[in-house]
Amino acid sequence: MLKNIIFDMGNVLISFVPEYFIERMGIGGSDKELLLDAIFQSDEWPLLDNGELIEEEFETIVQKRIPERLYQAAHQLIFGWDDPLVPVPGMAEFVEECKKAGMGIYLLSNASRHQRDYWERVPGHEFFDGRVISAEERCVKPMKEIYQCLLERYQLKAEECLFVDDVQENVDAAIREGMHAVLFTGDVDAVRAEARMLGMNADYAQVP
């Protein structure tokens, strides 16, 4: 019987599209590509998620790669890409449905320590019973240790969990740890159907 649903965050609960973050600042062309390469596509960006770097250290690295006229834009992208957050349509409502159906709700996300600053602005955050953030654990998905961290910390049985992530490698790792898992492609109804097939009580859920 399904008892818990574990959500990824980026492109599951909220959109994470670096190109959009840059474009909404009115930046395009070669400057857009420069910022993409220097920040989001850099070798150091993943180090924020695994806790080896903090944003202040990363900003110093980025400034060495870009002209001074882009310093302010880079600062905003590093520290404020989440302002404003862009919810994934329908997901907050589904999280609430899961809670009403009696599910335990958990977050398992590759994210920097900055996540704690914007978490309370993520729609549906109030329904979560716990969360594990990679930077705080110094390990990232798809490493088995981060899945085990969540299961052990909240005393969850893997076979009673459904994991939802937008990256196939992370989904496969969850399955290896004994969880049910589904790849999220933007179709909330597909995840809802999977949860109900696994035994989520639909009596309390809002029928779409």
Domain range list for the chain: 4-14+87-197, 18-80
Query: Cβ(111)–Cβ(139) under 8 Å?
Result: no
Omega within 30 of 0 (cis) for the link into 67: no
Q: Which fold has domain 4-14+87-197?
A: Rossmann fold (3.40.50)
One digit per residue, pLDDT tens: the chain, 208 residues? Answer: 899 999 999 999 999 999 999 999 999 999 999 999 999 999 999 999 999 999 999 999 999 999 999 999 999 999 999 999 999 999 999 999 999 999 999 999 999 999 999 999 999 999 999 999 999 999 999 999 999 999 999 999 999 999 999 999 999 999 999 999 999 999 999 999 999 999 997 665 444 4
Q: Which residues of 160-169 are buried (b: 16+ CB within 10 A; e: fewer)?
A: bbbbbbbbee
Cα–Cα dist 47/56, whole Å:
13
Query: Cβ(112)–Cβ(57) under 8 Å?
Result: no
Pairing mode of beta strands 180-183, 4-7: unpaired
Query: Angle at CA 85, nearest 5°, toward 80 and 91?
Result: 150
Count of H-run helices and E-run strands, the chain: 11, 5
Cα–Cα dist 98/42, whole Å:
37
Q: Whole-prediction pTM value?
A: 0.94
